[in-house]
Amino acid sequence: MAASTLTQPLVSDLVGDLTTTTGDTVPVIAPFTGEVLHNLPTASAQDVTDAAAAARIAQKSWQAAGFAHRRAVLLKAHDLLLERREELLDILQTESGKTRGQAFEEVFQSASVTRYYALSARGVLRTRYRRSGIPTVVRTRVGYKPKGVIGIITPWNYPIALSIMDVIPALAAGNAVVQKADNQGALSILSSRRAFIEAGVPAALWAVVAGDGNVVGNAVVDVADYVAFTGSSATGIRVGERAMATLTGASLELGGKNPLIVLDDVKPSTAAANAVYSVFSSMGQLCVSIERIYVARSVADEFTAEFAARTQALSQGPALDYTTDVGSLTSAAQLERVQKHVDDAVKKGATVLAGGRARPDLGPFFFEPTVLTGVTEAMECFSHETFGPVVAITVVDSEEEAIAAANASEFGLNASVFSGSISRARRVADRLEAGSVNINEGYRASFGSVDAPQGGMKQSGLGRRNGPEGILRYVEARTVAEATGILTLPRTGPEWSRLSGVMLFLLRALKGLRRR
């Protein structure tokens, strides 16, 4: 295991940035070793309330500073993220158990999102004139006002990327943020946040709290003018219900049981190589990773054999460098969940083609990347999200059968189509019920496209992050319309009598001119 820059003085320094007055702590476990990494200070509901009050004060000045100032600060933070990447990678790996390469994905995504919103916020949110009800008589413009304090609740699996993807558009729009970090990802969030504070974001503008979700998470929802949540569908529904009780808006990115369709015109070896990463990146602990593969019968034998062989060849271990392909699960709870799904499937008749067992010789939470066939509806892993390194391969006899099977889920977050024909893959993609669809890639094509919206359908959530949609959720659209004085709008019966004919002529003329 390579040397880490994560020292106890650094850890103590970072947790000092948390908002808390309780003196209470919870232990955080390092996945690679099972040892206590540090004791994390936790907040109270009152701490959250106080943080929101301070954030509201800071938000007024931040909004008034304008787009140019915010752009400069965010671009400086972008550079600091890149300069400090090795420290960020060490912390990410130590907290999550993922590989160096998959940790790098987070840093890359975070810098991309920061640059995107720094440069695009002003253009997306600029005041624009809109078509009025009666051209020249009325002039209409639409502008945007930041909502105020955004409550953000982020999970442990992609702590930096999922944090930045929600926090930065909120800041770019002129809002403040109170963020509940998952205990397991708090160090990663605090380390990345420090780059923004040193770049010029006021510390009070972006407060980070940690602790029990029923206390701290609920408090974050209660103080917010808008809520962005990423996590399980069950928790997300409760967050949405709590927000709606006060008519507070919310975006919810929730679970997935993401399908990949392998059509009969692929090169099986290439498709298998790409599919393996789509399934096992970050040990499958990614909301958009693939858990179901539907492969055309004519290429199924070759694809499946190649997929299983490549899975077995993956290098697994606790290295803080680029020498491993897959790492560890993040917690004992994750290990228990994965083992339960695999044991249940095997007991009920599934076949293990690769993996299928824990690897305590590598570390306490390691589990082999696992390939199953013969998975049926009776098995837990058939329709429930495993959120681990387990995939089920199913052979289908037609494109129609593959599409129907892919759509037969309560989830609709991500999907993928592998084909030798882009036009064919696009036709299939258009029929899949998912918020994002990747062609000849598992998730990175859409996940990395920061100018395009990402989010779920069905039980996979509401709202979108990334793209213009990702910043527009954090603002209130305001219409200002003015009478120009060219013509006085009718007010009395006689005035309506005189002008109604003119107004009818206008309606017909605008239609004839194809004017909106």
**Closest among 387, 415, 330, 404 to 364, alpha carbons compared:** 330
Asked if 185 contacts 154 with a C-beta cutoff of 8 angstroms, the reply is yes
Please give the backbone phi and psi of residue 200, each rounded to the nearest 5 degrees, phi first.
130, 0
Structure tokens at 492: 């009395």
Distance in angstroms (rounded) separating the CA atoms of residues 354 and 367 = 12
Q: Return the active site residues.
A: 253, 287
- The DSSP letter of residue 145 is E
Helix (H) / strand (E) element for 220: namely helix 218-223
| Residues contacting 509, CB < 8 A, separation 6+ | none
Distance in angstroms (rounded) separating the CA atoms of residues 187 and 10 = 10
The residues with which 366 forms a beta bridge, in sequence order, are: none
Task: Find the angle CA(391)-CA(254)-CA(390) to the nearest 5 degrees.
Answer: 10
Structure tokens at 11: 């850890």
- The DSSP letter of residue 316 is B
**Closest among 351, 368, 350, 369 to 359, alpha carbons compared:** 368
CA terminus-to-terminus distance, the chain = 64
Distance in angstroms (rounded) separating the CA atoms of residues 43 and 215 = 9
Distance in angstroms (rounded) separating the CA atoms of residues 428 and 129 = 39
Distance in angstroms (rounded) separating the CA atoms of residues 212 and 220 = 11
Residue 304: how many CA atoms within 13 Å on its side-chain side?
A: 23
Asked if 462 contacts 250 with a C-beta cutoff of 8 angstroms, the reply is yes
Structure tokens at 496: 């309506």
The residues with which 455 forms a beta bridge, in sequence order, are: none
At position 270, the amino acid (one-letter code) is: T
| Residues contacting 214, CB < 8 A, separation 6+ | none
Asked if 142 contacts 91 with a C-beta cutoff of 8 angstroms, the reply is no
**Closest among 494, 486, 501 to 132, alpha carbons compared:** 486
